[in-house]
Amino acid sequence: MSRGLRIAVVKPDWGIRGGAEHVIDRLVAFLGDDGHDVTPRFIPVADLPRTVYRMVVPDRVWDGAPEYFRYLALLDAVSHVDVGDADLVLTTQPPSFAVDHPHHLSIFYHHLRVFYDLEAAYLAAGFVTDRTVHDAARDHVRHLDQSRLERVTQFLAPPVTARRLARFNGIDGVEVFHAGVDFDRSAEPSSGAVAPPTSGAVLCVSRSEFSKRTELFVHAMKYLAPTPATLIGSGGRLRWVQHLDEVLSAPGAELDAVTPADLWCNPGRAPRRMRHRRALRSNVDFAGRVDGPTLGRAYRRATCVVAPALDEDYGLTAIEAMAVGRPVICCHDGGGLAEIVTDGVDGLVVEPTGRAIADAVESLLADPGRACAMGAAAREKAAGYSWKRAREELRRAVDQVMA
């Protein structure tokens, strides 16, 4: 095992604490415990000027293709990160893989997805006003990425993103990486019967962003009102999701008439004025961001956990829920989520509609014995997603890069 390396960790700092941030925290701690000198080189995205390679981009131009120009600004910033004193560079979210170093390990979770695997959904949602501009931006981003990805010494990636690297970039031989669970599982027995839920709430843990589709969770729970539900997480579309909750909670709301374009396949722009939420009679509780112990308790109290995301890179939410014996409901197009959950064994895999999710939740509420059996199978599967395993995968990758 390699020891005593000077390791630079390069990552864009988006000002949020999501699954990727928790994983990187763990990996940095592992590297430090193994005797390496680890130095974070984080790039604050919010502080980036609207400048690309020393050229100021006018606001009207930038706002016409914000994903593209922000990405170019990040590429520019990454190119100026000094890693010359490092023995090994570890990079994470795009485009940190653009760092040029002879010993380069990329923990690869995704590309700039609106120009890759999420492009069709992004276009269908109406984010693009000029398709010609979008196509040119996509082609340029892919061109810029290709040469930089080809310089990476070794990749660690979940199975879904490993296949994306092969599909979009022709890169094979990617080592598979499996992250563990962040919150404390000590309150759960390692064997025996799964503890029954104590509150009956249906849980969704997710940032509300495009492709996370927390809107589907809210829609599903309106079919099951007054069954209590909790959404944990913040995000840029949270206000839109709360607006939908208001609309769908109104007397006489026609739930079956709601389409994906009404729910999640749109830019998610909420009206400026919304009702006073305290006066709203809704069965969905928006809990916002919570700490680790609170999250663990929420999982343990839940009847089941709904993970409605589109083509998820990994599926950490599913593993967290399964680790404490809760069955997971996800969608057929859920990517990593649908690969983790085995339909009818440790959860349910359904069509990406509120009605289908509601039917799945209702089936578990109506049969607690089945829900507990699925929970037991879920906990057994989740035991394989340990940080011990992740640490060994990281160690092997470091050794391979330095060989």
Does residue 191 sit within a domain?
A: no
Helix axes 368-382, 316-323, angle to 10 degrees: 110
User: What are phi and psi for residue 109, nearest 5 degrees?
Assistant: -105, -30
User: Which pLDDT score, from 0 to 100, does residue 199 have?
Assistant: 59
Residue 196 lies in a domain: no
Contact 308, 286 (CB under 8 A): no
Q: Name which of 293, 315, 287 is nearest 185 in CA terms.
A: 293
Mean pLDDT for the stretch of residues 341-361: 98
- What whole-number distance in Å separates Cα of residue 169 and Cα of residue 149? 8
- 373 shares a domain with 323: yes
Confidence category of residue 188, pLDDT binned at 50, 70, 90: low
pLDDT at residue 213 in the model: 98
Chain centroid, CA 257 distance in Å: 29
Please, which pLDDT band fits residue 236 given cuts at 50, 70 and 90? very high
pLDDT score, position 187? 47
Query: So what's the pLDDT on residue 156?
Result: 96
pLDDT band at 186 (very low <50, low <70, confident <90, very high): very low
- pLDDT value at 354 more than 90: yes
Q: Residue 285: CB partners within 8 Å, gap ≥ 6?
A: 201, 228, 229, 230, 231
Domain co-membership, 71 together with 95: yes
CATH code, domain with 315: 3.40.50.2000
pLDDT score, position 197: 62
**Pair 241, 276 in one domain:** yes
Give the model's pLDDT for residue 272. 78
CATH of the domain at 59: 3.40.50
- Kindly state the average pLDDT of the residues 255-267: 97
What confidence tier does 194 reach under pLDDT thresholds 50, 70, 90? Answer: low
Tell me, what's the pLDDT at 193? 60
Answer yes or no: are the C-beta atoms of 216 and 352 closer than 8 Å.
yes
What pLDDT score was predicted for residue 273?
Answer: 72
Paired residues of 13 in beta bridges: 44
Provide mean pLDDT across the span 186-201.
59
Q: Are residues 118 and 27 in the same domain?
A: yes
* Residue 190, domain member (yes or no): no
In a domain, 351, yes or no: yes
pLDDT for res 189: 46
The Cα–Cα gap between 145 and 81 comes to 17
164 and 215, same domain (yes or no): no
* Percent over 70 (pLDDT), the chain: 94
What residues contact 56, with CB distance under 8 A and at least 6 apart? Answer: 49, 50
As a whole number, mean pLDDT of residues 220-247 equals 96
Residue 341 has a pLDDT of 97
- Residue 195 located in a structural domain: no
User: Are β-strands 51-52 and 55-56 bridged in parallel, bridged antiparallel, or unpaired?
Assistant: antiparallel
**Domain shared by 159 and 248, yes or no:** no
Copy the structure tokens of residue 376. 């037991």
Q: Check pLDDT > 70 for residue 36.
A: yes
**pLDDT exceeds cutoff 80 at 229:** yes
pTM (2 d.p.): 0.92
Q: What are the E-state strand segments in 163-228?
A: 175-176, 202-205
Shared domain for 80 and 216, answered yes or no, is no
Q: What angle do CA 76, 77, 79 make, to 5 degrees?
A: 65
Please tell me the predicted confidence (pLDDT) of residue 72: 95
How many other β-carbons are positioned within 10 Å of the β-carbon of residue 380?
13
Q: Is the pLDDT of residue 331 over 70?
A: yes
- Choose among 331, 332, 318: nearest CA to 374: 318
3-state secondary structure of 44: strand
pLDDT tens digit sequence for 9-30: 999 998 877 777 888 889 999 9
Give the CB-side neighbour count of residue 135, counting CA atoms within 13 A.
Answer: 3
What was the pLDDT predicted at 14? 86
Q: What mean pLDDT value characterizes the chain?
A: 91
Least confident range from 42-56, 171-185, 301-315: namely 171-185
Q: Give rounded-to-5 percent helix, strand, coil for the chain.
A: 45, 15, 40
Relative to beta strand 304-307, strand 347-350 is: unpaired
- Domain total in the chain: 2
Q: Give CA–CA dist 40/273, Å, rounded.
A: 41
Q: Does some domain include residue 270?
A: yes
Among 128, 97, 124, residue whose Cα is nearest residue 111 = 97
Sequence letter at residue 160:
V
On whether residue 128 sits in a domain, the answer given is: yes
Do 78 and 175 lie in one domain? The reply is: yes
pLDDT band with cut points at 50, 70 and 90 for residue 244: very high
Strand order of the sheet with strand 328-331? Answer: 284-288, 229-232, 202-205, 304-307, 328-331, 347-350
Distance CA 172, CA 118 (A): 21
Residues 104 and 19 in one domain: yes
pLDDT above 70 (res 192): no
Please report the DSSP string for 222-277 in residue order: HHTTTS-EEEE---TTHHHHHHHHHHHHSTT--GGG--HHHHTSS-----S----G
Residue 7 has pLDDT above 60, yes or no: yes
Domain membership of residue 105 as a residue range: 6-180+387-402
Q: 27 and 78 share a domain?
A: yes
Q: Based on the domain organization, do 122 and 248 belong to the same domain?
A: no
Compute the average pLDDT of residues 39-51.
91
Is the pLDDT assigned to residue 183 strictly greater than 70?
A: no
Residue 292 forms part of a structural domain: yes
Q: Same structural domain for residues 151 and 243? A: no
- Mapped onto helix, strand or coil, the DSSP state of residue 328 is strand
d(CA 337, CA 316) in angstroms, rounded, equals 8
263-320 tens-digit pLDDT: 999 999 988 776 655 557 899 999 999 988 899 999 999 999 999 999 999 999 999 9
The tokens 């000002």 sit on which residue?
A: 15
Q: Which of 203, 238, 187 is nearest to 364 (CA)?
A: 203
